[in-house]
Structure 1
Amino acid sequence: MTAILQTQIPYNPLASQRLPGIKPLPVADWLRSDDAFGDQMAERERLLDTARDKVLMLDEGGRPAAEELLERVLAHLYPGAEDQVQRPDGVTVRIDWQDPLGTLGRITQQDFCILEKPEGAAEHVLTGAVLCFPASWTLSEKFMRPLIAIHVPVDSYDANIAARVQRLFDGVQVDRPLWRFNALWYHDPMLHQPRSADAPREQPRSEEAGFMRSETQSILRLPRTRAVVFSIHTFVLSRADVLRQWQQDEQDIETV
Structure 2
Amino acid sequence: MHYLITFCLGIFSLSLAATTALSANLCQGFGPQTPRDISDTTGSNPINFSRAPEPTQLNLCNIHTHTNAEHKGPGFTIFAGDGDHGGYQCNDSKRLTDAELVEPDHAAMAYHGVKPGDTIEVHWVYTSCQVTPGKGLGSCLTKACTNPELRVESQVFLVANNKSALNFMDYTYRGQLVAGLHQPKALPAGTGEPVVFAGSTTGTSFTQEICSPFQVTWSVRPQCAKLDINSLNEWAKSGNVFQEDHSHGVRQLVTAPELLAPIN
TM-score category (smaller protein): under 0.3
Specify the structure having the higher radius of gyration (Cα). 2
Instruction: Choose between structure 1 and 2 for higher RCO, CA contacts under 8 A separated by at least 6 residues.
Output: 2
Q: Structure 1 or 2: larger helix share?
A: 1
